[in-house]
Amino acid sequence: MGITFRKETFRDDFTFKNSPEHIRRFPFPFHEDAYMYAVNIEPHVVGPKGSVLENLIDVDEHYVAEMQDRALVLAEDPLRCQSLPHMTLAGWDLLELLMEQQALGYPEHFTLTRDGDRWRWINRPLGIDDTFTFGDTSTLPYGPMEYITRQSQGDFCILDQRDGNLWMDAGMVTTQADWSLDFDIGMNFFEWHAPVPLAHEKGIFTRALKFLTNIQQGKPARRLNWTMTINPRLDTSPENYHKWGPDRTTVTPENVGEKVHLRVELQSFWRLPRSNGIVFPIRCYLIKMDELVTQPKWARRLHRVIRDLPDELANYKGLTRYRPTLVEWLSKLDDGSPTSPGFGPD
């Protein structure tokens, strides 16, 4: 049996919710009671059944609603999807990767059949059945990157590798944590990370770049990143900051559980076979505080992490305005008892 896709929204009435099974599989990002930057990159290999790592490209109950939200963002602002002229081949690489992985992990929902360059792609949840010629952009309704990323959860950055650096030369970015593809496109690895505090001094980016430029085909890697979002809003772009920013002033002790969301990015890194580029999917998972604290270990640990976060990081992540209210609310769920090692719930 397949996934039951939820009918829900990430804007206006914000009906997004996680089912109890999805709460248990949430990729909680803290393995201890404190947080600081680290080059926390590990091989992206298949994980336990029932976890978000059961398949290397995860499709979940939010798939259809997320794709509808992406279409709304793109209709408003087509600049969220851009590809510099030399990146079309990498777009085909990405189309192949995502079709293969989604068909492999979810055969009841996706089917890919190939007859030489003639490919047929069936996407049942979105009602798509297209036959096209691989490598011939005129046979698809969009460019290859846009076509497949309108059908895949998460943001996607395609990085060109040259001069010992990685260049952000294409992307589909509609669920970002406050950075602008339109502004950053064409920048190298250090340039687009320039605004991140503390990490440059720690040599994080130099080491991360060394690792990423050595990624081999068939051996993807991953890391987790996190922030917080008020209301389950996928589109927290800088473009619309003046529209969603006021949400941060609406947190009260009474509505923390419903309004405040932990936002976790599962970032993975894959070498692309034809273009030698790297694709960097940034998959966003949201969980509201009421859902998260159903796991007592997570409640205790999140309290300690947010309470002890250095101010500079709290500021960069945009938590400053509502942090005291959140910490006070979480403190009532922390009896001070120890937490078990590792990410998972007890």
Partner 1 sequence: MAAKSIISRPVYGTLSPQPGKHHLFVADAEGALAIAEMAKRAPAGFFDEAEIVFIPGPDGKHVAALEALKPAQFHEAPSFASLLPRLRQTLANAHMGLRLYLSGTEGLIGQAMQVALEAGIDHTSIETEHRGSLARRMQCVHCKGITENVTTQPATCAHCGLLLLVRDHYSRRIAAFQGVCINAEDRSEIPPMEEIFR
Which span (27-35, 144-152, 188-196, 210-218) binds partner 1, by CB under 8 A? 188-196
**Interacting residue with partner 1 among 120, 194, 207, 311 (CB under 8 A):** 194
Catalytic sites, residue numbers: 223
* 180 forms part of the interface with partner 1 (CB under 8 A): yes
Are the C-beta atoms of residues 260 and 14 closer than 8 Å to each other?
no
Q: Please name which of 58, 63, 64, 38 lies closest in space to residue 46, comparing C-alpha atoms.
A: 58
Are the C-beta atoms of residues 16 and 9 closer than 8 Å to each other?
yes
Are the C-beta atoms of residues 305 and 33 closer than 8 Å to each other?
yes
> What is the Cα–Cα distance from 302 to 309, expressed in whole angstroms?
10
DSSP state letters, 291-307: HHTTSHHHHHHHHHHHH
* 310 forms part of the interface with partner 1 (CB under 8 A): no
Distance separating the N- and C-terminal Cα atoms of the chain: 28
* 11 forms part of the interface with partner 1 (CB under 8 A): no
Q: Give the shortest CB-232-to-partner 1 separation in angstroms.
A: 18
User: Could you say which residues in the range 66-125 bind partner 1, by CB under 8 A?
Assistant: 79
User: Could you say which residues in the range 241-280 bind partner 1, by CB under 8 A?
Assistant: 241-242, 245-246, 248-249
Q: Give the shortest CB-213-to-partner 1 separation in angstroms.
A: 17
* 58 forms part of the interface with partner 1 (CB under 8 A): no
* 37 forms part of the interface with partner 1 (CB under 8 A): no
Q: Give the shortest CB-290-to-partner 1 separation in angstroms.
A: 23
Q: How many residues bind partner 1 (CB under 8 A)?
A: 25
* 331 forms part of the interface with partner 1 (CB under 8 A): no
* 321 forms part of the interface with partner 1 (CB under 8 A): yes
C-alpha distances in angstroms, 120 versus 110, 113, 279?
A: 11, 5, 23
Torsion angles phi and psi, residue 91, rounded to 5: -60, -40
* 200 forms part of the interface with partner 1 (CB under 8 A): yes
DSSP state letters, 132-151: EETT-GGGSSS-HHHHHHTT
* Binding interface with partner 1 (CB under 8 A): 79, 180, 182-187, 190-195, 200, 238-242, 245-246, 248-249, 321
